[in-house]
Amino acid sequence: MTDVVIAGIGQTPVGEHWEISLRDLALDAIQAAHKDSGGLKPQALFVGNMLAPNLSNQAHLGALIADYAGLTGIEAITLEAAGASGGAALRQAYLAIASGMVDVALVVGIEKFTDKIGSEVEEAIASTSDSDFEAVQGLTATAQAALLMKRYMHEHDVPANGFANFALTAHANGVANKNSMFRKAIKAETYAKAEMVSDPINMFDVAPNADGAAALVLTRRDLLPFDWHASRPLVKIAGSAASSDTLALHDRKDILYFDTAQISAGKAMKQAGIVLDQVNFFEYHDAFSIYAALSLEAIGFAIKGKGWKLAADGSIGLKGKIPCATMGGMKARGFPGGAAGVYQAVEAVTQLRGQAGVNQIANAKYGLIQSLGGPASTAVSHVLQAME
């Protein structure tokens, strides 16, 4: 099978874009990716979105965005998998290219949280949980994560500041990312004094919901012009996998183990032909600090109950054992819902091209990215590789 490569990347700054429409945000990212790809024209569009029908009163985004981007006539569909929607869209585009059914595919992750405010946003996000047994009881995504974090801290004797370095690392890495929502480092004492959102989660343990769009152009290596690689570094998708678990937490044997994170990452790495020690950086789904810790454990970077220590001892920093959230992650860059997974891919490509500036991981060859839908009810993992 020929290599599936990411030929173009584009993104908008993440933030509160009250004045920009859903379609205009998407178009900005598409135009940037189209230019970066050298003008490749897609035959199919895969849109990752989480909540547009709820928050923007707009479904059928595939046709809407294809039309607005001047791509009427191509195949265009929307993928929804909660916070893993962007990762799911990337996987479907990868499969389309790898199968040979599509030569050039466009992936767009798009979300607009600011089309609604307050309780309407929380209600919309709650629709991604089990409506009959969780959302109906008033359980929000943040409260659910707080329950997990409380249980984890109790079972593994984690101190009150045990998760602090997840936030500190993300914010330190976000300073140099011009597309981050927050570009200011924070200190340990700032974290310690932060207001509680849902005990024990404080405001630095939860990523801010934000607007944004990111785009990728995928094709097969043999379809690129002969001299394409000479003009820019080339990155391929070496592994791709997805997994699902119960939607409701109470249906799981162990609520503190993300099975889907382990399964999807393991399959993606096996496909790529690499082992854990070869992964140069990991873009985890840090919508909540507890998710980062549980993902590190599930994949095998830490044993059960010790994931938080990788943050505490600096192992996840840019110069650590396994650099994470290298461009700020969801905590500093912001959490643009269904677009988050596509932003991860854009940032990973930036690393593997050697274009990450002061955030550059030296000699990065393999990057692992993982998107989660809810508390890992869905997990989509990709291994990206810098090509020689």
The per-residue pLDDT for range 189-214, each reduced to its tens digit, is: 999 999 999 999 999 999 999 999 99
Q: Is it the case that residue 327 has pLDDT exceeding 80?
A: yes
Distance (Å) of CA 109 to CA 247, 265, 299, 335: 23, 21, 25, 12
Mean pLDDT to the nearest integer, 158-180: 98
- State the pLDDT at residue 107: 99
pLDDT in tens, 32-52: 999 999 999 999 999 999 999
Q: Is it the case that residue 227 has pLDDT exceeding 90?
A: no
Closest by CA to 170, choosing from 184, 154, 150, is 184
Tokens 């002969």 correspond to: 226
Closest by CA to 168, choosing from 346, 16, 312, is 312
pLDDT-derived band at 2 (thresholds 50, 70, 90) equals confident
Structural element, H or E, at residue 6: strand 4-11
75: how many CB neighbours lie within 10 A of its CB? 16
- State the pLDDT at residue 68: 98
Cα dihedral across residues 91, 116, 29, 71: positive or negative: positive
Instruction: Please tell me the distance from the alpha carbon of residue 332 to that of residue 178, in angstroms, as a whole number.
Output: 11
As beta bridge partners, residue 45 has 76, 106
Task: Name all domains of the chain by residue range, CATH numbers in brackets.
Answer: 4-117+210-231 (3.40.47.10), 138-208+238-386 (3.40.47.10)
- State the pLDDT at residue 351: 98
Q: Is it the case that residue 148 has pLDDT exceeding 70?
A: yes
Q: Is it the case that residue 144 has pLDDT exceeding 70?
A: yes
Q: Which residues of 173-191 are buried (b: 16+ CB within 10 A; e: fewer)?
A: bbeebebbbbeeebeeeeb
Q: Three-state SS for 151?
A: helix
pLDDT in tens, 289-315: 999 999 999 999 999 999 999 999 999
Structural element, H or E, at residue 387: none
Instruction: Please tell me the distance from the alpha carbon of residue 373 to that of residue 198, in angstroms, as a whole number.
Output: 20
Structural element, H or E, at residue 358: none
Mean pLDDT to the nearest integer, 51-80: 98
Q: Is it the case that residue 228 has pLDDT exceeding 80?
A: no
- State the pLDDT at residue 229: 67
The tokens of 318 are what? 């840019």
Torsion angle, alpha carbons of 64, 65, 67, 71, to 10: -150
Closest by CA to 203, choosing from 180, 219, 216, 186, is 186
The 4-11 sheet, strands edge to edge: 75-79, 44-48, 104-111, 212-220, 4-11, 235-244, 378-386, 366-373, 281-283
| Average pLDDT along the chain | 96
Distance (Å) of CA 99 to CA 45, 102, 219: 16, 7, 11
Q: Three-state SS for 44?
A: strand
Is residue 29 a contact partner of residue 12, using CB atoms and an 8 Å limit? yes
Closest by CA to 227, choosing from 30, 364, 38, is 38
Closest by CA to 26, choosing from 75, 53, 62, is 62
Is residue 366 a contact partner of residue 385, using CB atoms and an 8 Å limit? yes
Q: Please count the CA atoms within 13 angstroms of the CA of 22 that sit on its side-chain side.
A: 30
Q: Is it the case that residue 1 has pLDDT exceeding 70?
A: no
Tokens 């700020």 correspond to: 328
Q: Backbone phi, then psi, for 36, in 5-degree steps? A: -65, -30
Closest by CA to 49, choosing from 134, 117, 113, 114, is 113
What long-range pairs does 250-258 form, CB within 8 A, spacing at least 24? 250/133, 255/148, 255/151, 255/375, 256/148, 256/151, 256/152, 256/155, 256/294, 256/304, 257/294, 257/297, 257/298, 257/304, 258/291, 258/294, 258/295, 258/297, 258/298, 258/372, 258/375, 258/376, 258/379
Say how far residue 33 (Cα) sits from the centre of its chain: 18
- State the pLDDT at residue 232: 74
